[in-house]
Chain A
Amino acid sequence: MHIPDAYLSPATEAVAFVVMAPIWMVAVRKTSHSLSSRQTPLLSVGAAFCFAVQMFNIPAIGGTSAHALGATLLAILVGPWAALMGISLELAIQALLFGDGGILSLGANCFDMGFVAVFVGYGLYRLLVGSRSGSGMRSIVAAGVAAYVGTVSASFSAGLLLGIQPAIAHDQAGHALYCPFGLSVAIPAMVITHMLVAGPAEAIITVAALAYLRRTYPELIADHAKPHLGTGLRLARGLAWVLVLTPLGLIANGSAWGEWELTELRRMVGYAPAGIMQAKPIIRPLLPDYGFAGSTGGFLVGLGYLVSAFIGCALVAGFTRTLLHRRTVEPMEQSSPGAPGGSLPDWMVLPNPPCTVSSSHGGPWLERALLRMREKVASSIASETVARQAGLLQSVQPTAKTVGFLILLLSVAVSRSFLVLVLLALAILVSSAASRVPIADFVQRVGATTAFFGLIVAVPVAFQTVSPGSTIWSVFGITVSVGGVHSAALILLRLACGIGLAILWNLTTPWRRLIRSFHSLGVPNLVLTTATLTYRYLFVTVETLADMVEARTSRQAGGLSKREARLYAGTGSAVLFSKSLAFSEELHLAMQSRSFDSFPKSEPSRRLSGVDFVFLLAAIAALAISYGVSGHVA
């Protein structure tokens, strides 16, 4: 669900920041009141856990990816405001360090995956649980339902933001400049993949983690499940009600997003999103179960969503039953420690009886995703060494660098000219060489991230499905148009430049300096301390996960059935959470015993000098050129 920079117009991104600013401010105020010192590691581990959960993703048509969030779980454990803060920090780390999700689109991403997911999820949870304390079985099931709905709502919100792009940002010829898919594609693409895949995953993770934490860390659940957050709670409940009523409204109205858009939007903005009409027959078959939408009436569309939701809920219910069933085993009476000894049991003296190989597969994608994740984290460690070398960008003062990079990102976002983007890309390459960044690795990282986010959007754009224009060639009824290729290349190039800038920034700035620059730009200390802890725990969580996978590999003789894979994902994530929590509690104690109180230590930054001004001027010049050349000014 991470939206990269290239898919949202700068206007949308700005609005999202404006909306998020007061929300973040409230979150910081609330958190500084309620976060006891023991909760800070909990929040950071929670955020690191969300990071790990979100790495297991599948690409979704509409331009981003589908994955679980961990939002409702975190909200139940630390309260909605702290959860909002944790998820925002985790998204910021992903954007700044790993190029997942844009930096300028951070506001929008925090709105979807932070605000919407947390408050819908938590609100619905409180609504379902009522005023009882939150440790009964009923509340765990409620959490599962809430997590499911919260994730789907977040995906809806992301689909909405993406889907309005063709209408609000296109050039004179009607070529899309940012996300090329209209509401009728973006919303079902996001919502249905989340209803069928990511939503159930989120529910499973939430239910399993809560059921497990209830036994391993009962104090956690007891402490934070009490209704204790006035405004947050009211807000959350309100959102949840809106949400519950929405599908009813859809059906009752006989209208749905898909239909609403073409007629209404044309009137509203005087523009029919280019090529959306042609898009339908081509994009449709690519989506499982998408055949529902766009059929005769809004009723069927609503029905399509309901059926997907039903399947998703059935998956969740099935899993919850297995889980609860397993838990009804009576605990053995506690005997006292026995002495080790005696002779070997008989079966240990004999060889194992022969047995047949179970032929079920599955699971390797988990391992592959984990490998990807480990590589990323390893490359982040490696980047700290690059950041400590002497080099061009390393010598720029951190605060000036932060401001400069933000301006550069903006100039990529507003540019509509091929030439300007190519020049920017060259400038990025030259300055990374001057900063002694290993170029081959750098290009490969940028390329891989661009491909992951970009191809699924660029390919349909190049074909004449979403862009009008003169045809280059046409085979099998699929046409490639000049305009389409141009749009696709522009989108890919902008994506690559944005990701390249983010990675270059990260590669040339050690974490401590980055944090200090945010400090001098006025970001509160609490936020930076939590961010730094989250960053530390990220490594712990990923290593713990890698250990668990290796330990399992060592004893795993057979394959995994579908059911086992679900159970694995559920209990695995619950154990991961508890394990990293246990470990980070020790880490926190270790830090305290060496008298840690907060990051960053007030260490004065260097004063601005020549190189800083040159860098800032270059960034401003890039923005001016990019803005001017792109026809914003007539």
Chain B
Amino acid sequence: MGCLVMLLELRDVAYRYVDGAVALERISMTVETGDRLAILGANGSGKSTLLRILNGLIFPTSGVALFRGQELSERALSAPDLKHEFRRTVGFVFQNADAQLFNATVEEEIAFGPGQLGLSRAETHERTHDVMRFLGIEHLSERPPFRLSGGEKRKVAIASVLSMNPEVLIFDEPFLGLDPRSQAWLVRTITQLQSAGKTTIVATHTLDTLPKIADRALVLSEAHQVVSAGPLSPILADENLLRSANLVE
């Protein structure tokens, strides 16, 4: 095998938005197959930006992002082969569920991903209905996604990614707006997916559920830099660290 090729890797990445706002500074990190990673940080520390880079939606202002050793850049992702491999491997549930929904009905929304994988019509249909049943949203199938309640939208957004069955699942604040029963269900689902061998990356402020869904964490400071990375439990035990990152009062 020679040297180990990481699933996802960032090397010295910085990101600035067009209006000049700094969102990330000197970030290096790696993700291996089977990782259960949590991204922690206060509001505005750059979690969502980091995840969007990991999903190849935006590209580093400096530094590189790698997927299985290949650079993720606008150019590289316009090549059909890499694009296809990357998009079917990495799925991303946005922080803003509203922004993630672009299809005419809930059913079309969920069927979009499987359609992209070249599955047959019947398989796509089966997957779509499996997922809707799994999330308890079958009754919404004909509704337009943007005329749903906040929590319903989030469930549809999660369903639309689950139906692609990606190997890497990135969740940005997935518990936002879910009722307690649905939150518990989502925690259970994430652990089930992990035991099926999926890699998960979760950005969240909900510290209490964290130990169930992650064993490694990366903490971003308000200066948009990594202040700590490593096993979860020592990080959660380090009061000073959490306070300096504004994660606890």
A residues at B contact (CB < 8 Å): 212, 215-216, 331-332, 334-345, 347-349, 351-353, 355-359, 361, 364, 375, 378, 381-382, 544, 547-548, 550-559, 571-572, 574-575, 578-579, 582-583
Q: Return chain B residues, CB-CB under 8 Å to A342.
A: 133-134
Q: Return chain A residues, CB-CB under 8 Å to B135.
A: 340
The smallest beta-carbon distance between A444 and chain B, in angstroms, is 15
The smallest beta-carbon distance between B36 and chain A, in angstroms, is 16
Instruction: From A216, A334, A340, A344, give the contact of B139 (CB < 8 A).
Output: A334
CA distance A336 to B137 in the complex (A): 9
The 8 A CB mask of B144-173 against A (1 = contact, 0 = none) is 101100000001000011101101000000
- The answer on a CB contact under 8 Å between A557 and B116 is yes
CA distance A215 to B142 in the complex (A): 10
CA distance A332 to B112 in the complex (A): 19
**Most-contacted residue by chain B among A364, A555, A574 (CB, 10 A):** A555
- The answer on a CB contact under 8 Å between A571 and B118 is no
Q: Is B199 an interface residue (CB 8 A)?
A: no
Contacts A344-B134, A348-B162, A355-B118 known; A579 to B146 CB distance under 8 Å? yes
Instruction: From B18, B116, B188, give the contact of A555 (CB < 8 A).
Output: B116
- The answer on a CB contact under 8 Å between A352 and B117 is yes
Q: Return chain A residues, CB-CB under 8 Å to B87.
A: 554-557
- The answer on a CB contact under 8 Å between A582 and B147 is yes
Q: Return chain B residues, CB-CB under 8 Å to A351.
A: 165, 167
Nearest CB in chain B to that of A568: its residue: B102
Dominant SS at the B interface?
helix
- The answer on a CB contact under 8 Å between B165 and A347 is yes
B residues at A contact (CB < 8 Å): 18-19, 55, 57, 78, 80-81, 83-84, 87-88, 91-92, 94, 96, 98-104, 112-113, 116-119, 127, 130-131, 133-139, 141-142, 144, 146-147, 155, 160-162, 164-165, 167, 181-182, 185, 188-189, 192-193, 196
- The answer on a CB contact under 8 Å between B119 and A355 is yes
The smallest beta-carbon distance between B153 and chain A, in angstroms, is 11
Contacts A337-B136, A344-B134, A554-B57 known; A216 to B99 CB distance under 8 Å? no
Q: Return chain B residues, CB-CB under 8 Å to A344.
A: 134, 189, 192-193, 196
List the 8 closest pairs (A to B, CB-CB), nearest first. Answer: A338-B136, A547-B99, A355-B118, A557-B87, A548-B102, A345-B130, A557-B116, A340-B136
- The answer on a CB contact under 8 Å between B116 and A352 is no
- The answer on a CB contact under 8 Å between A582 and B138 is no
Q: Return chain A residues, CB-CB under 8 Å to B155.
A: 340
Contacts A575-B104, A579-B146 known; A335 to B138 CB distance under 8 Å? yes
List 16 A–B pairs whose Cβ atoms lie within 8 Å, in order of A's numbering: A216-B147, A339-B136, A340-B136, A343-B192, A344-B196, A345-B127, A345-B131, A357-B84, A378-B19, A547-B102, A551-B102, A554-B91, A555-B116, A555-B160, A555-B164, A582-B147
Given A340-B155, A582-B146, 7 additional A-B pairs, CB 8 A: A340-B135, A352-B165, A355-B117, A378-B18, A556-B87, A557-B83, A583-B98
The smallest beta-carbon distance between A249 and chain B, in angstroms, is 42
CA distance A203 to B106 in the complex (A): 25
- The answer on a CB contact under 8 Å between B78 and A357 is no
Q: Return chain B residues, CB-CB under 8 Å to A554.
A: 55, 57, 87, 91-92, 94, 100
Q: Return chain B residues, CB-CB under 8 Å to A340.
A: 134-136, 155, 181-182, 185
Q: Return chain B residues, CB-CB under 8 Å to A345.
A: 127, 130-131, 134
- The answer on a CB contact under 8 Å between A215 and B161 is no
- The answer on a CB contact under 8 Å between A357 and B161 is no
- The answer on a CB contact under 8 Å between A216 and B144 is yes
Q: Return chain A residues, CB-CB under 8 Å to B19.
A: 378, 381-382
The smallest beta-carbon distance between A566 and chain B, in angstroms, is 15
CA distance A358 to B83 in the complex (A): 11
- The answer on a CB contact under 8 Å between B100 and A551 is yes
Q: Return chain B residues, CB-CB under 8 Å to A335.
A: 138-139
Instruction: From B18, B99, B160, B196, give the contact of A349 (CB < 8 A).
Output: B196
CA distance A599 to B88 in the complex (A): 49
Nearest CB in chain A to that of B166: its residue: A352
CA distance A483 to B86 in the complex (A): 57
- The answer on a CB contact under 8 Å between A332 and B133 is no
- The answer on a CB contact under 8 Å between B164 and A356 is no
CA distance A215 to B92 in the complex (A): 29
Q: Return chain B residues, CB-CB under 8 Å to A352.
A: 88, 117, 164-165
Q: Return chain B residues, CB-CB under 8 Å to A353.
A: 119
CA distance A571 to B112 in the complex (A): 13
Nearest CB in chain A to that of B198: its residue: A348
Instruction: From B80, B88, B162, B165, give the contact of A359 (CB < 8 A).
Output: B80
- The answer on a CB contact under 8 Å between A551 and B167 is no
- The answer on a CB contact under 8 Å between A348 and B80 is no
The smallest beta-carbon distance between B105 and chain A, in angstroms, is 9
- The answer on a CB contact under 8 Å between A550 and B99 is yes
The smallest beta-carbon distance between A342 and chain B, in angstroms, is 6
- The answer on a CB contact under 8 Å between A215 and B144 is yes
The smallest beta-carbon distance between B130 and chain A, in angstroms, is 4
Q: Return chain A residues, CB-CB under 8 Å to B182.
A: 340
Nearest CB in chain B to that of A358: its residue: B118
- The answer on a CB contact under 8 Å between B88 and A557 is yes
Contacts A349-B196, A555-B113, A558-B118 known; A338 to B55 CB distance under 8 Å? no
Q: Return chain A residues, CB-CB under 8 Å to B164.
A: 352, 555
Instruction: From A334, A375, A551, give the contact of B94 (CB < 8 A).
Output: A551
- The answer on a CB contact under 8 Å between B101 and A551 is yes
Nearest CB in chain B to that of A212: its residue: B104
The smallest beta-carbon distance between B173 and chain A, in angstroms, is 16
CA distance A358 to B88 in the complex (A): 13
- The answer on a CB contact under 8 Å between A332 and B142 is yes
Q: Return chain A residues, CB-CB under 8 Å to B104.
A: 212, 571, 574-575
Nearest CB in chain B to that of A550: its residue: B57
